[in-house]
Homo-oligomer: A and B are copies of this chain.
């Protein structure tokens, strides 16, 4: 079998980004809105130079089980909308109070706080609207309903929003490794698992395949966060597109400050191995998933 290192990831990432961006444009530009300002804020929040990690995971998981990007693109859009909404709300003054996101003014700076709150709210329910309204043949009613269930759970109080609440409550506290993992498994991990699961759903994966995908997703979800924490220390502001050292300034619990930088790097590698092992029963169609796991722990921003 071809090793992940032989898979040419950058053109794959570009294809995924193009596929989801084209469809996001359809949903966010061609659909009507009664408030021009709100519609612009939603587009601003969505087309902000994001890496489209979640859509890429949807595509890669779908392709690992034999489906294609066209079939998975609305699930990818829904995931990216929920992700975009969460960033808009996280950046608000009452939350992380960030003025910059990927080197550009955050939504509440470019517009205003009220508009940013509403843009986030609207993006969240638009994600569910997209899943119900999708006219893609592969999106049967059963699959739509399963995806909505998965996305709703991953977004809410037992998922992303719950994780964000835990994260806010832990600011300034010294967390144990276990507590930090609980925060991240929810704050970012649940949506990453939902992405991979929804990719599997569109390909109608069987129970064993879905379980393997979930193991993979759980590992890369944590790996992503560990690497984020590492980059906050070792990268510079320009490469990151946000303030380097922000976590330290906020006295946030991070993997490097609990484990030390070297052990955090080892943990990231370890999680990558776990992710690779979860895919043992998959064939070469899972190469993008494998290469993504490598990318997550080796990226510089």
Contact = CB atoms under 8 A, between A and B. Distances in A.
Interface of A: 31-35, 37-39, 42, 85, 89, 92, 94-95, 108, 112-115, 117-118, 120-122, 124-126, 128-129, 131-133, 141-142, 144-145, 148-149, 151-153, 155-158, 161-166, 168-169, 182, 186
B149 A129 contact: yes
B125 A42 contact: no
Contact of A95 (B34, B37, B42, B117): B117
Contact of A89 (B108, B121, B151, B182): B121
Given A120-B121, A122-B157, A141-B142, A152 B166 contact: no
Q: Kindly list the 7 A-B residue pairs having the minimum CB-CB distance in the complex, ordered from nearest.
A: A94-B113, A35-B165, A129-B152, A38-B165, A132-B149, A34-B162, A122-B161
Copies of this chain in its oligomeric complex: 2
Nearest to A150: B132
Contacts of A92: 114, 117
Contacts of A37: 165, 169
A120 to B, nearest CB: 7
Contact of A148 (B148, B153, B169): B148
Contacts of A131: 148
A108 to B, nearest CB: 8
A131 B125 CA distance: 13
Contacts of A115: 165, 168
Contacts of A145: 132, 141, 144-145
Nearest to A129: B152
B157 A33 contact: yes
Contacts of A125: 124, 128, 151-152, 155-156, 161
